[in-house]
Amino acid sequence: MTGRAVARAIAPYLAPLAVLALEWRLLSPAPALADHFQFWAAGHMVVTGASPYDRAAWEAMAALGPCRTASRPTPSSATSR
């Protein structure tokens, strides 16, 4: 392929790629607080044999989630005081 043929082949993809690059921060906020983590965590629990209805399993998943912090108390430790 010549340089002109390559440019003609990739030209239709340049505008959508530019729009995606400009809007990337809007499309993927940090931290990702959408439902993606909850759906992933529920599926992970089912595959590993845990129940997605178990509160302790969700507390364990919170350690993996986007809002994890070392100083955040868990509900079970807050009630034991």
Mean pLDDT of 24-32: 69
Total-model pTM: 0.41
pLDDT of residue 81: 47
Task: For residue 67, count other CB atoms closer than 10 A to its CB.
Answer: 10
Give whole-number Cα distances, 79 to 25, 70, 74, 75, in Å: 39, 18, 9, 6
Secondary-structure percent of the chain, ordered helix, strand, coil, rounded to 5: 60, 0, 40
Is the CB of residue 75 less than 8 Å from the CB of residue 59?
yes
pLDDT of residue 60: 82
More confident call, 20 vs 27 = 20
